[in-house]
Amino acid sequence: MSFKRFNLSEPILKALHEKGYHQPTPVQKEAIPQIISRKDIIGSAQTGTGKTAAFCIPILQLLQQGRRRRGIKALILTPTRELAAQVCDNLNFYGKYLPLRNTQIFGGVSQNAQVQQIRQGVDILVATPGRLLDLMGQGIINLKSLEILVLDEADRMLDMGFIHDIKKVIAASPAKRQDIFFSATMPKGVQKLVMSIMRNPVKVHVEGTSDAKADIHQFVYHVEKRSKHALLKHIISEKEMKNVLVFSRTKHGANRIAKNLNRSGIKAEAIHGDKSQHARQRALHNFKMNSTRVLVATDIAARGIDINNLPYVINFELPETPETYTHRIGRTGRAGATGSAFSLCDVSERGYLKRINRRTSRKLATVEHPFCQRITADKQLPVQKSNR
């Protein structure tokens, strides 16, 4: 099936062709026609499935006719600045032959350039909630002309405490509008929000984006806490990983992991909330250009990082919730490519591992390694050899 089936306009088809998208992904197949027919959508799809294009393409299609009216017609809320930048890049690309103006606003940088953009007129605005409310409070932005509201990664926004901000944005929007929510998981908070504002939303659920992603090989290494740094180096070297994303639970931990790897000659950079926007963008650029081999990130900083064909993800610590595990491993195995996710698990993290195994309905394969002898002998853990 090609994108032509959606009756998209020529300028959009041309941009998609240039981008090398020949056929829609499953989430795009389901969501694009529904959004074009002005339905409210609640989509459960992870990053990596093509969900950004699943809402950007139909929004561009819907709004291209209305350019003559002034004002913000679509607002896309994202939890992080990285994701806002990425969604805006997508819009700019798919809409490159359209006369629509897209812009992004987020905190952590001066507002001046953003205000200038807004004053020149914007059709589609991508924003993080804090900066948006700030500029609304200053009277620089109003949402009177809004037709479409998108919440991207709604579960993560609620996790990050944005619920009140989201409610304020909704209260400032016209009652008659189209709502589109995307969320990797559907916790109660998201369901409640959906029920409170949407009328008869169409549910878009994409098989294969569930927690047991078949295209991601998942492994666990049982290890003592103090041997984790040595094991991490061992995994990266043994598998000759050229490009690997390592997750750290804390900012301080991320710095320490990067420092240790650099000391052993493995080039690594850390990104987290204490780094400036500029430093984060630079680290991401270096990683994408392969001049940095390892990017160490906290969960919040990693949200929205779009790196194509990332083959490996390593969890230096297991996350406390299985949802976070799903988000993390979703960084690899994107858009049909295969990937591997490795988790380092010390004895204090066994409970988290159990929950992950339960959630993914399969046991992560346990890998034998040079630092596990004492642990396996002591604890009689089942060990499965792996060549990955």
Assign 132 to helix, strand or coil: helix
- 253 lines the binding site for ligand AMP (CB under 6 A): no
- Beta strand residue intervals within 272-371, DSSP E: 294-297, 312-315, 339-345, 365-366
- 213 to 232: interface string for ligand AMP, x by CB under 6 A: --------------------
Return the number of the residue (86 or 343) whose C-beta is nearest ligand AMP. Answer: 86
In whole angstroms, the minimum distance from the beta carbon of 362 to ligand AMP comes to 23
- 78 lines the binding site for ligand AMP (CB under 6 A): no
Contacts of 311 (CB under 8 A, 6+ apart): 241, 243, 244, 332, 337, 338, 339, 340
Residue 36 contacts residue 59 (beta carbons within 8 Å): no
Return the number of the residue (220 or 305) whose C-beta is nearest ligand AMP. Answer: 305
- 80 lines the binding site for ligand AMP (CB under 6 A): no
Return the number of the residue (253 or 339) whose C-beta is nearest ligand AMP. Answer: 339
Residue 223 contacts residue 372 (beta carbons within 8 Å): yes
Angle at 40 between CA 37 and CA 44, to 5 degrees: 115
Sheet holding 339-345, edge to edge: 268-271, 294-297, 244-247, 312-315, 339-345, 216-222, 365-366
Return the number of the residue (88 or 372) whose C-beta is nearest ligand AMP. Answer: 88
- Report residue 170: phi and psi, to 5°: -65, -40
Stretch that binds ligand AMP, among 51-59, 105-113, 193-201, 233-241 (CB under 6 A): 51-59
- 21 lines the binding site for ligand AMP (CB under 6 A): yes
Task: Report d(CA 382, CA 375) in Å as an integer.
Answer: 11
Stretch that binds ligand AMP, among 19-27, 119-127, 263-271, 369-377 (CB under 6 A): 19-27
- 53 lines the binding site for ligand AMP (CB under 6 A): yes
Give the CB-side neighbour count of residue 244, counting CA atoms within 13 A.
29
- 47 lines the binding site for ligand AMP (CB under 6 A): yes
CA distances from 345 to 316, 367, 375 (A): 8, 11, 11
State the amino acid at position 29 in one-letter form.
K
- 81 lines the binding site for ligand AMP (CB under 6 A): no
Return the number of the residue (25 or 315) whose C-beta is nearest ligand AMP. Answer: 25
Task: Report d(CA 81, CA 303) in Å as an integer.
Answer: 9
Stretch that binds ligand AMP, among 46-54, 136-144, 216-224, 287-295 (CB under 6 A): 46-54
- 48 lines the binding site for ligand AMP (CB under 6 A): yes
Task: Report d(CA 242, CA 225) in Å as an integer.
Answer: 25
Q: Where on the phi/psi map is residue 213: left (φ > 0), alpha (ψ -120 to 50), or beta?
A: beta
Return the number of the residue (53 or 345) whose C-beta is nearest ligand AMP. Answer: 53
Return the number of the residue (56 or 344) whose C-beta is nearest ligand AMP. Answer: 56
In whole angstroms, the minimum distance from the beta carbon of 89 to ligand AMP comes to 10
Assign 325 to helix, strand or coil: helix
In whole angstroms, the minimum distance from the beta carbon of 316 to ligand AMP comes to 23
A 10 A CB-CB count for 46 gives 24
Return the number of the residue (80 or 173) whose C-beta is nearest ligand AMP. Answer: 80
- Among positions 282-341, residues that touch ligand AMP (CB under 6 A) are 306, 308, 334-335
Chain residues binding ligand AMP by CB under 6 A are 21, 24-25, 28, 47-53, 306, 308, 334-335
